């Protein structure tokens, strides 16, 4: 259960507590649950996407939000999707196959974030009529540094949403409109969005009826708007003059491309944008506390495959892009095999969890640290997500006791500081 040292009294304060404690990712699901008359997700003064509650919102509605919000509940693969062929790893969870792969179409592979595997799978699903449409994210038309939910019906339009969305994205804000269509679709979203949608299936039976495939990238987080503004300011770029922003793609990882309203184009490398390693990353608090950046509740997760976890700036322009593809469910494995047979995906060598550790060391480290960080955040009276089937206690026990104490103290200190500095 979520615990508070000073419990919020009103329903609106309970919603604000998720934001205040840094656990909101701006996915928009709370607006879908409550309705726009009760909750509106929009930019705050900091530029981040957060919910604003109407004063008339009731506790029953907030209870439903707490039951589905990925800041308050995150679970691994649903039990009914685990079968006799499922393998289990302490770090990487449930899976049926781990293999290198990429989109067979050269342009899809080139434009994709890594090897275009998720785009290739999406193309196959539409071409084969396995689903009626894809729901995924593309660059926002209103703010290019943000993402926005997008519906795709045509195979040749899938790559228009290729490339990582490293900006705030209300990926589930219109989920009810998608379900109201009564048509089948595949959902391609971040692990936190996948977890949120799995949660929502408890409230709306149409989710499991209509969402036929669940696909996700392995995710390290996104850059908050204040940090984006700082990055642009260092380049002497006015945030309001940006007309286009591509975080990566057109190579692996490909250039960070900034287009301005006057026609100027500026390109920087991936490491120019993020820094040389994860110690340089600027992330929202929720991303630092993420219990599942590896897509444990998806049918398929696809990751980067850079040794050590970061691209080599000297050779990244030579990399055509190769995904590590994790088929977690029987349905995911069947989809992968079908896409290969149909010529949409090409596979390379099989890999294993220890290979995944070597190319995703930050995911391994974060997984090991999560429970200690949650303990520290709880001790500060902050929101801590309910979790299941993510092995956080076993991972905690596998750590050095001294390291667990360090993580606990650091998380508690940061939580208390955040409370004192919070503004919406």
Strand bridging mode 147-152 / 133-139: antiparallel
The whole-number pLDDT of residue 424 equals 65
The whole-number pLDDT of residue 422 equals 65
User: What string of pLDDT tens digits covers the 424 residues of the chain?
Assistant: 444 445 667 999 999 999 999 999 999 999 999 999 999 999 998 899 999 999 999 999 999 999 999 999 999 999 999 999 999 999 999 999 999 999 999 999 999 989 999 999 999 999 999 999 999 999 998 999 999 999 999 999 999 999 888 999 999 999 999 999 999 999 999 999 999 999 999 999 999 999 999 999 999 999 999 999 999 999 999 999 999 999 999 999 999 999 999 999 999 999 999 987 777 889 999 999 999 999 999 999 999 999 999 998 777 778 899 999 999 999 999 999 999 999 999 999 999 999 999 999 999 999 999 999 999 999 999 999 999 999 999 999 999 999 999 999 999 999 999 876 666 6
Q: Which of 120, 100, 99 is nearest to 109 (CA)?
A: 120
In terms of Cβ atoms closer than 10 Å to its own Cβ (0-12, 13-18, 19+), residue 221 is buried
- Using the structure block, give the residue that is written with the tokens 């390693």: 277
CA distance 202 to 64: 10
Classify the C-alpha dihedral 260-266-270-275 as positive or negative. Answer: negative
- Using the structure block, give the residue that is written with the tokens 């922003």: 245
State phi, psi for 116 to the nearest 5 degrees: 70, 20
The whole-number pLDDT of residue 280 equals 81
Q: Which of 172, 200, 181 is nearest to 74 (CA)?
A: 200
The whole-number pLDDT of residue 7 equals 61
The whole-number pLDDT of residue 6 equals 53
Q: Virtual CA dihedral for 405, 310, 306, 340, nearest 10 degrees?
A: 100
Per CATH, the architecture of 79-223+280-361 is what?
3-Layer(aba) Sandwich (3.40)
State phi, psi for 212 to the nearest 5 degrees: -90, -25
**Nearest-5° Cα angle at 80, 77 to 82:** 60
The whole-number pLDDT of residue 9 equals 77
- The sheet carrying 323-327 orders its strands as 147-152, 133-139, 185-188, 211-217, 300-303, 323-327, 97-103, 345-350
CA distance 243 to 21: 32
CA distance 107 to 125: 18
Bin 22: left if φ > 0, else alpha if -120 < ψ < 50, else beta: left
CA distance 105 to 343: 8
Strand bridging mode 97-103 / 345-350: antiparallel
Query: What are the structure tokens assigned to 146, written together?
Result: 């943000």
Length of the chain: 424
Q: What beta strand segments (E) does 351-397 contain?
A: 386-388
The whole-number pLDDT of residue 4 equals 46
Quote the pTM value: 0.95
Q: HEC string of 356-385?
A: HHHHCHHHHHHHHHHHHHHHHHHHCCCCCC
Query: What are the structure tokens assigned to 272, written together?
Result: 């120019």
Give CA 207 to chain center in angstroms: 19
Query: What are the structure tokens assigned to 308, written together?
Result: 């050590």
The whole-number pLDDT of residue 57 equals 96
Q: What beta strand segments (E) does 180-315 contain?
A: 185-188, 211-217, 242-246, 256-260, 265-268, 300-303
The whole-number pLDDT of residue 46 equals 87
The whole-number pLDDT of residue 276 equals 74
Bin 284: left if φ > 0, else alpha if -120 < ψ < 50, else beta: beta
The whole-number pLDDT of residue 60 equals 97
What does each C-alpha distance from 45 to 50, 306, 424 come to in angstroms? Answer: 10, 37, 6
């Amino acid at each position: 259960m979520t615990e508070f040292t000073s419990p919020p009294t009103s329903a609106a304060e309970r919603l604000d507590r998720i934001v205040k404690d840094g656990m909101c990712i701006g996915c928009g699901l709370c607006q879908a649950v409550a309705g726009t008359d009760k909750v509106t997700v929009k930019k705050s003064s900091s530029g981040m996407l957060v919910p604003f509650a109407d004063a008339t919102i009731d506790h029953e509605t907030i209870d439903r939000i707490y039951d589905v919000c990925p800041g308050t509940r995150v679970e691994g693969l649903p039990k009914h999707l685990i079968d006799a062929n499922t393998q289990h790893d302490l770090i990487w969870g449930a899976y049926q196959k781990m293999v290198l792969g990429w989109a067979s179409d050269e342009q899809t592979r080139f434009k994709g974030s890594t090897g275009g595997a998720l785009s290739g799978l999406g193309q196959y699903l539409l071409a084969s009529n396995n689903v009626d449409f894809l729901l995924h994210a593309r660059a926002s038309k209103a703010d290019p540094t943000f993402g926005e939910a997008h519906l795709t019906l045509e195979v040749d339009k899938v790559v228009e949403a290729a490339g990582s969305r490293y900006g705030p994205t209300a990926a589930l804000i219109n989920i009810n409109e998608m379900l109201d269509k009564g048509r089948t679709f595949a959902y391609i979203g971040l692990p936190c969005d996948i977890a949120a949608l799995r949660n929502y299936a408890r409230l709306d039976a149409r989710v499991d009826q209509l969402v036929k495939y669940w696909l996700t990238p392995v995710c390290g987080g996104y850059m908050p708007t204040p940090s984006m503004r700082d990055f642009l300011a260092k380049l002497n770029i006015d945030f309001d003059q940006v007309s286009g922003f591509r975080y990566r793609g057109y190579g692996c990882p490909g250039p960070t491309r900034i287009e301005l309203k006057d026609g100027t184009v500026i390109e920087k490398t991936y490491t120019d944008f993020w820094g040389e390693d994860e110690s340089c990353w600027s992330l929202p608090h929720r991303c630092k506390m993420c219990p599942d950046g590896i897509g444990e509740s998806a049918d398929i997760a696809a990751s980067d495959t850079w040794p050590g976890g970061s691209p080599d700036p000297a050779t990244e322009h030579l990399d055509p892009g190769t995904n590590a593809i994790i088929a977690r469910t029987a349905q995911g494995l069947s989809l992968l095999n079908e896409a290969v047979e149909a010529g949409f995906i090409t596979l390379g060598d099989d890999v294993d969890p220890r290979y995944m550790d070597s190319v995703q060391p930050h995911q391994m480290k974060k997984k090991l640290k999560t429970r200690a960080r949650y303990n520290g955040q709880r001790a500060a009276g902050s929101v801590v997500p309910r979790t299941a089937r993510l092995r956080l206690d076993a991972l905690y026990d596998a750590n050095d006791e001294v390291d667990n104490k360090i993580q606990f103290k650091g998380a508690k200190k940061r939580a208390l500081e955040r409370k004192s500095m919070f503004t919406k």
